[in-house]
Structure 1
Amino acid sequence: MSTDQGRGQRSIRCLVAKVGLDGHDRGAHVIARAFRDAGFEVIYSGLHKAPDEIVQAAVQEDVDVLGISILSGAHNTLVPKIVEGLEEYGALDDTLIIVGGIVPEDDRPELKELGVAEIFGPGASMEETTQFVRENAPERER
């Protein structure tokens, strides 16, 4: 049972996803642990997932939050494919999308226009990230 304030019986469900050929997953593991410590239910995708695999996992697991970890520089190609996939399944409005990793400032506005709620770069605190999720995860029957 969740102790999330007023969120019902189910805790916030998060998918922490590694997309593309990026093999660096330390940050993904750190945020997954921080989310678990915050009382969130966490699913980790594993490495080298295609955008459609991440979409399928997010839809099948009925996640509230999709955290995309990307350090490869392919964010302008891969993140839009994930957003489009979620939209095709009608899951975009019910999923808070956050991105963590190396995303240049110039690329951030376009990602946010697509539907990415926030982008957390190197040095972002776990407290800041978990608080953002707590405050912005979609309210759903749990």
Structure 2
Amino acid sequence: MASTRLVIFNDSHGWHTQQLQHAFSHYDIDITTADLAQCYIDINNHNKVMIPGLAGDRPDIVIVRGIAPGSLEQITFRLDCLHYLAEQGVRVYNSAKAIEFCVDKARTSLKLAEAGIATPATWSCEQITIAQQIAT
């Protein structure tokens, strides 16, 4: 039976990656480290999300430890890669949806309040004039 293919995504592989590599060293797992910023989508390839170090193969498991800063388009693209991998049956830990909720404080606050979880008085807006109106 072939080894499980695991990808650890991070924009800088340090102690997080080393700890994960050590933890998985006792199992039959091939570990690849990569940066989501280096991935690309190839519509003409049956694997679609191309990950450096996998020679076109699809991983079995992905662990996301970090995503490099970037423009809205760059971050959206990286999350698209994670969404697609999950849709293809890859187990993604720290999924795109989880990341979206963690970084979107307004949406997270709304979801907490909708679930009946005590949430402090919160408001969110884009314009300082609106914030000033709300605050006064």
TM superposition score category, shorter chain reference: 0.3 to 0.5
Higher relative contact order (CA 8 A, sep 6+): 1
User: TM-score w.r.t. structure 2 length?
Assistant: 0.46
Structure 1-normalised TM-score? 0.45
